[in-house]
A and B are shown apart, each in its own frame.
Chain A
Amino acid sequence: MSGAVTVLAVDDQEVFRRTARRLLEATPGFRLVGEAASGPEALRLAAELRPDLVLLDVRMPGMDGIETARRLARLQPAATIVLISIGELPELTSEPPGVIAHLRKQDLSARTLLRAWASRPAL
């Protein structure tokens, strides 16, 4: 599908990456182009695939989602990021640049994804 929003899903949990795959298949106008299981893998794939949107889990072993988002913003200032986490959302002293939304995993749906994408600042 040309013109679709390309998405990179980043989560160390396979079960969640599988769900993200199904969710994006069912969300019109979005296309999953890659999956990463860690922060370093996400940075590598983001540089290679240049996705429009990075769906990024906050809690990951090693480099967590916040650190990955900071590095991603430095490497690719145009990257748009949606942070996702289970339960309470961690309080951030400063939101990494490029983060347009912070969603609880259980609230993730086609509707919330579309709403988050629509809220991104105009270029």
Chain B
Amino acid sequence: MVALTAIPRGRWQRLMTVSVPQARRAAARVRLSLGLLRLSSAVALAAGAAWLLSVEAWREPLALLAAAAFVALIALLAQLRAERRAVRALTAEQQRLSAATARSTRELRRSRARIAAGAERERQRIERDLHDGAQQRLVALRIELELAEELVADDPAGARERLRELEREVDEALEELRALAHGVYPPLLADRGLAEALRAEAARAALPVRVRDGGVGRYRTEVESAVYFCVLEALQNAAKHATGARLVTVALRRDRDGGLAVAVLDDGVRAPRIVAGHGILNMRERLAAVDGSVAVAPRPGGGCAVRLQVPG
């Protein structure tokens, strides 16, 4: 049994829009077959009756009865056959729909499992970064401060020098924490929104990047976060694969239904066939979590277009 609540709204709607018209068409076909059969039965009965009225069969009541029973039997058999065919058609359609539902459910489960596994990997990475980075530095500082404290009485100049070194190490620990926090959720994204955060990132990108914000405004936190990290991924892909690219354009647009459409367009030279690697899979999974989608295709004039879409 499929738990409907486990299927995201957008996916379920897509599944239903594919299946319901097909089921309706099958039912219409069945109704048409039954109508035709009823019509042919009526014609056969009328013909039989006309024959009976016109011939001498009236003189033989038994023959009349037999003829009527025969016609009725033929009509009944034809009706039964039509109904059997209709049932078979409906069963086949039902099986096809069940198989399609099962396929969609399996795909959704796999996708959800991948998203959950991705989130888990991300948590572990953050924990590891904290453990290996700032936490180690702070623990080392704790020990070294105690050593410096002991040095103060015997060697004040040496202690001062050590304290200056430790100040630099505090700065390094702070920078590591800042970079880690930025990787988890960039403060600019939280405070100023997608366009500003992308502009700041564009200034640091390996290739020249122009951001056209299209006056999109703010979206839900999870939408902004998913789109922001997808655009970063697309920019990294462009830096890696768009040979000879001179400019990458990031264009944001608010759809009529309030959704968000983003295009990342580069003008580099690429292989004619774009193979979906880890980067595209990551984008797909990030966007699937907000019912969004990604399409990657070569641009007619050269370069590559990554188009992200999140419904409103």
Contact = CB atoms under 8 A, between A and B. Distances in A.
B132 A13 contact: yes
B232 to A, nearest CB: 27
A19 B132 contact: no
Given A13-B132, A59-B131, A26 B140 contact: no
Given A59-B131, A86-B131, A109 B146 contact: yes
Size range of the interface on A? Answer: 10 to 19
Interface size band for B? 10 to 19
Contacts of B151: 26
Interface in B109-155: 131-132, 135-137, 139-140, 142-144, 146-147, 150-151
A18 B136 contact: no
Contacts of B135: 86-87
A106 B139 CA distance: 5
Nearest to B172: A15
B143 A86 contact: no
A5 B237 CA distance: 54
Interface in A47-65: 59
Contacts of B136: 13, 15-16, 86
Contact of A19 (B131, B144, B150): B144
A15 B142 CA distance: 12
B147 A22 contact: yes
A105 interface: yes
A105 B291 CA distance: 46
A15 B131 contact: no
A19 B142 CA distance: 10
B144 A22 contact: yes
A26 B131 contact: no
A18 B140 contact: yes
A19 B148 CA distance: 12
B147 A105 contact: no
A23 interface: yes
B139 A86 contact: yes
Interface string A105-116: 110111000000
Interface string A82-109: 0000110000000000000000011011
A121 B136 CA distance: 31
A23 B142 contact: no
Interface string B271-307: 0000000000000000000000000000000000000
B150 A26 contact: yes
A59 B150 CA distance: 29
Contact of A26 (B132, B137, B147): B147
Nearest to B146: A109
6 contacts: A13-B132, A23-B143, A26-B150, A86-B136, A105-B143, A109-B147
Interface of A: 13, 15-16, 18-19, 22-23, 26, 59, 86-87, 105-106, 108-110
Given A15-B136, A109-B143, A110-B150, 5 more contacts: A13-B132, A16-B136, A19-B144, A23-B147, A110-B147
